[in-house]
């Protein structure tokens, strides 16, 4: 099972990395519009975003615009000691500094209460039709998402959706996926 996931991870990363930067920017803009159009998003007071890097769906403009809408913007801080993803509120993008694995994270830690997060925007290398995801395999997001009952939204390009991921007991599914083509909705918890 591990080998299967690793092969899928490599294949899907190659596909995602192969999308030209200008096309990724256009697709990210469409995905942003879809996210911001959701009633669930509009009603959210506190939104947690991943801080995009590499070929991921871009979230920097999303975070900036959320701050302009006076929403609380939460981002992950990776605690290397406990190997945990900690939600931290930021007041501006200038508070982010390059951290572990080249991923930007908050410079100062202001832990944000899990119960107050309304919506979590989740990254992934691949997603399937049952809304399970493959990330980089570290398990940070699954462990974090297990603790929160808020709406979980996966952002990806349409080419990142695959037929089936061999989900394990610890894997957490999304409530919805947003691509440049459409919004996929799971069980209507949103």
CATH number at 2-112+132-158: 3.40.50.10420
Q: Which comes out higher in pLDDT, residue 25 or 166?
A: 25
Q: How many CB atoms lie within 10 A of CB 189?
A: 12
Instruction: Detail the DSSP E strand segments found in 96-182.
Output: 96-98, 104-106, 119-122, 126-128, 133-134, 151-155, 161-162, 176-178
The pLDDT of residue 35 is above 90: yes
Alpha-helical (H) ranges within 38-98 are: 39-43, 60-68
pLDDT single digits (tens) 152-184: 999 999 999 998 888 877 788 999 999 999 999
pTM for the predicted model, two decimal places: 0.92
Largest CA distance in the chain: 44
Exposure of 92 in the CB half-sphere (CA atoms within 13 A) = 2
**In sequence order, what are the residues at sequence separation of 6 or more whose Cβ sits closer than 8 angstroms to the Cβ of residue 4?**
166
pLDDT at 110 over 90: no
């Amino acid at each position: 099972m591990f080998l299967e996931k690793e092969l899928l991870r490599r294949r899907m990363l190659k596909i995602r990395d192969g999308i030209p930067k200008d096309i990724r920017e256009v697709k990210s803009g469409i995905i942003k519009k879809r996210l911001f159009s959701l009633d669930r998003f509009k009603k959210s007071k506190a939104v947690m975003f991943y801080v995009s890097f590499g070929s991921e769906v871009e979230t920097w403009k999303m975070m900036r615009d959320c701050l302009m809408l006076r929403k609380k913007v939460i981002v992950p801080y990776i605690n290397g000691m406990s190997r945990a993803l900690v939600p931290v509120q930021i007041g501006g993008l200038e508070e982010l500094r390059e951290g572990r694995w080249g991923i930007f994270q908050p410079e100062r830690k202001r832990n944000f209460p899990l119960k107050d997060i309304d919506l979590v925007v989740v990254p992934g290398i691949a997603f399937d039709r049952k809304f399970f995801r493959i990330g980089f395999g570290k398990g940070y997001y699954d462990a974090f998402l297990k603790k929160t009952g808020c709406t979980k939204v996966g952002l990806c390009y349409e080419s990142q959706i695959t037929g089936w991921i061999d989900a394990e007991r610890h894997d957490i599914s999304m409530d919805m996926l947003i691509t440049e083509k459409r919004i996929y909705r799971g069980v209507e918890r949103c």
